[in-house]
Structure 1
Amino acid sequence: MPLFHVCTLFLLFFIALATAADLYKVLDLHRSASDKDIRYAYKKLSRKYHPDKNKDPEAADKFVEVAHAYEVLSDPTKRQIYDRHGEEGLKAHEGGQQHYANPFDIFSNFFGQSAHQTRRGPTSVTEFEVELADMYKGASIDFMVKKRILCDHCRGSGAASDGDIHTCSGCGGSGMKLVKQQIFPGMFAQTQTSCNECGGKGKVIVKKCPHCGGEKVVDHTAHYTLEVTAGMPEGHEVVLEGEGDENPDWEAGDVVLRVRSKRDRGGWRRKESSLYWRETIGIDEALLGFDRNLTHLDGHVVRLTRIGVTQPGFVQTIEGEGMPLHENHNLHGDLYVEYNVVLPSHISPHTRRKLTEAFQSSDFRHDEL
């Protein structure tokens, strides 16, 4: 992040401290929250409000508040002082001049440690179809994703309470057992295997969480908003970091949305920055010309004009009426209009005579030659 942004955030940080909110409320936690709850809340909120990801003007303030709340509540000594005497107590404890860590350092240290300590879950890729009109003019699209999240009641432990998690008696908490096997008479070999009583975890649950039934995770429908920018390329990937299935044994992976326009048979078509449209005209318009309007994807009108004969399948190029360029929304590609000529299903005897006279006239033959 640029130095200017860092300095700006520090300024916001000190301003926020002047009217500091309850640190537990900042992390959306109860005062009885465990260390695991505090880490979970910080991981979720710091990602949500990180200035590189969230461009909302208020996100920087929230990012700073979340970092400060985590800095205090994750430290047992600071948390105890804060619980008893608040921010003023912390200030007095530190000699009247309270120290505030860089929120970006806290973020880097937290996720740096997490990356080494915990394996990462799988990344899911989803084909996400949107209307071509939304890719032309830009749009905010609300959508939902079904996934698994850590149980709100047990925070992923699977137990009814912390007191219901006991050290495994089978392995003494090591998660491993020594198994003695006889190879030959009088000869034995010892092998180390994962404890079958605790599954290698070293802990057993004596009473399962009533909310998740000991599964540690529950089904959840998450709501998101996809920001489709004008001219977004087909297949453009939008990454929702850390929004995959949650599990206490790994960091949640990413959700990748591969954005494409919906196939609309007979409607608008797109190829990179070009747009294609098929316009149907009558035989009279094909022969005599026409002047008609085409309503574009964003509602503005494009004038289609032809003088003289228009052959079936003729393609007219209209410059600057294609897709906006993703790098520069002020520039557009071209629009290609293909003309489809429809013949009448039947003609009257009177019309037939008139057409015969016209097509057999010397003027018509001369024009054809």
Structure 2
Amino acid sequence: MGKDYYKTLGIPRSASEDEIKKAYRKMALKYHPDKNKDPGSDGKFKEIAEAYDVLSDKTKKDIYDQYGEEGLKGEAGGFPNGGPGSGFHYTFNGDPFHLFGNSGFSFNGAGNSFFNNGMSGHGMGGHYKHKQDPTVQHELLVSLEDIAKGTVKRMKITKKVYAHDGKCRTVDKVLTIEIKPGWKSGTKITFPKEGDQYPGRIPADVVFVIRDKPHPCFKREGADLIHVHKLTLKEALLGTQFEITSLEGQKIPIVIDHIIKPNFHKKIENQGLPSPKTGQKGSIIVKFDIKFPDTLSTQAKNAINEFL
């Protein structure tokens, strides 16, 4: 048995053109996927659109009234006189949202404010404007070692997609992110329209924001790497030596043979991060954290007083 378009719109076969239009508007508002979140609403919305597409067109309506859906869609071989005639074949391939926007309704009237955001109507020239979902943002922690040389990250996302039958399914997708050497924390990589899919809406953009992964030895300041070395008061007064391992694994000897004051720092050029534009490397900057004793014995005080 073919589809009953009159039943779909909830109207009798004797309904007038105006009654058909009013019934379509009522049913379309009820089942519009932006308003009705039931899983089958988008499929129902398409059925309603197809029914209105047929019944609002005199030629298609006359054929449907005489021969039913089978005759309308060119399947009337068993009908008297071959049905509506060879060469006529109807298939609904339209966009139900476009049909709704171009159905001659005004969406600015009372009670229709739901459609004012994302849908506009101008009498017979009304149209539906799809609205994009808000951006979905993820943070991506990247080690300083990877920032120094560049790397490729593959991130798996899970999103919802809708099939033509209106059923929702969940799929996984792997997004490839090529991280360039020297990229700054806060750099954004955008994958347009990779968010969840919903009928009548544009999928959200998926954005990954690069963040520096905490490092045990360095803290980043632009292209420079800050290293804080702890030392005793004795080392600060008499000098010290130690090694720093660069991000590339190189051992860098540090020799200080003078008094280290609290605001002193040592710069090791071309051992920092590269500029993403020029490739020029920053520096490793060694700062010193001097540990002062909590107390001094009388003997220590006298010795210091004697030699300073």
Q: Following the alignment from structure 2 to structure 1, what is the Cα–Cα distance between the partners of residues 246 and 227?
A: 10
Of the candidates 174, 192, 196, which is equivalent to residue 245 of structure 1? 196
Deviations 1:99-121, CA, capped at 9 Å, x for gaps: xxxxxxxxxxxxxxxxx998363
Task: Verify: 1:259 aligned to 2:210, yes or no.
Answer: yes
Question: Residues 117 and 136 from structure 1, CA distance in 2 versus in 1: closer, same or farther, beyond 3 angstroms?
Answer: farther
Q: Following the alignment from structure 1 to structure 2, what is the Cα–Cα distance between the partners of residues 343 and 291?
A: 19
1:281 to partner: Cα distance: 1.4
Alignment of 1:174-189 (within 5 A): none
In the alignment, what sits opposite 1:278? 228
Of the candidates 296, 317, 341, which is equivalent to residue 267 of structure 2? 317
1:313 to partner: Cα distance: 4.3
Question: Residues 156 and 300 from structure 1, CA distance in 2 versus in 1: closer, same or farther, beyond 3 angstroms?
Answer: farther
Q: Following the alignment from structure 1 to structure 2, what is the Cα–Cα distance between the partners of residues 279 and 267?
A: 9
Task: Verify: 1:359 aligned to 2:304, yes or no.
Answer: yes
Letter in 1 for 2:197: E
Q: Following the alignment from structure 1 to structure 2, what is the Cα–Cα distance between the partners of residues 314 and 232?
A: 29
1:326 to partner: Cα distance: 0.4
Q: Following the alignment from structure 1 to structure 2, what is the Cα–Cα distance between the partners of residues 143 and 274?
A: 28
In the alignment, what sits opposite 2:67? none
Of the candidates 239, 250, 255, which is equivalent to residue 305 of structure 1? 255
Question: Residues 280 and 340 from structure 1, CA distance in 2 versus in 1: closer, same or farther, beyond 3 angstroms?
Answer: same
Of the candidates 168, 173, 177, which is equivalent to residue 222 of structure 1? 173
Q: Unpaired runs of 5+ in structure 1? A: 1-115, 159-215
Aligned residue pairs total 181
Q: Following the alignment from structure 1 to structure 2, what is the Cα–Cα distance between the partners of residues 124 and 333?
A: 33
Contact 1:120–1:253 under 8 Å retained in 2: no
Question: Residues 144 and 346 from structure 1, CA distance in 2 versus in 1: closer, same or farther, beyond 3 angstroms?
Answer: farther
1:360 alignment partner, SS class = helix
Q: Following the alignment from structure 2 to structure 1, what is the Cα–Cα distance between the partners of residues 169 and 294?
A: 63
Letter in 2 for 1:157: D
Between the aligned residues of both structures, percent identity stands at 25
Task: Verify: 1:134 aligned to 2:139, yes or no.
Answer: no
TM-score normalised over the length of structure 2 = 0.51
Higher RCO structure, 1 or 2 (CA under 8 Å, sep 6+): 1
Contact 1:148–1:218 under 8 Å retained in 2: yes
1:280 to partner: Cα distance: 0.8
1:247 alignment partner, SS class = coil
Q: Unpaired runs of 5+ in structure 2? A: 1-126
TM-score normalised over the length of structure 1 = 0.43
1:230 alignment partner, SS class = coil
Deviations 1:68-99, CA, capped at 9 Å, x for gaps: xxxxxxxxxxxxxxxxxxxxxxxxxxxxxxxx
Deviations 1:191-244, CA, capped at 9 Å, x for gaps: xxxxxxxxxxxxxxxxxxxxxxxxx32233333332221100221111123322
Contact 1:275–1:322 under 8 Å retained in 2: yes
Contact 1:118–1:250 under 8 Å retained in 2: no
Q: Following the alignment from structure 1 to structure 2, what is the Cα–Cα distance between the partners of residues 296 and 220?
A: 42
Deviations 1:126-154, CA, capped at 9 Å, x for gaps: 3333223322222222322232123xxxx
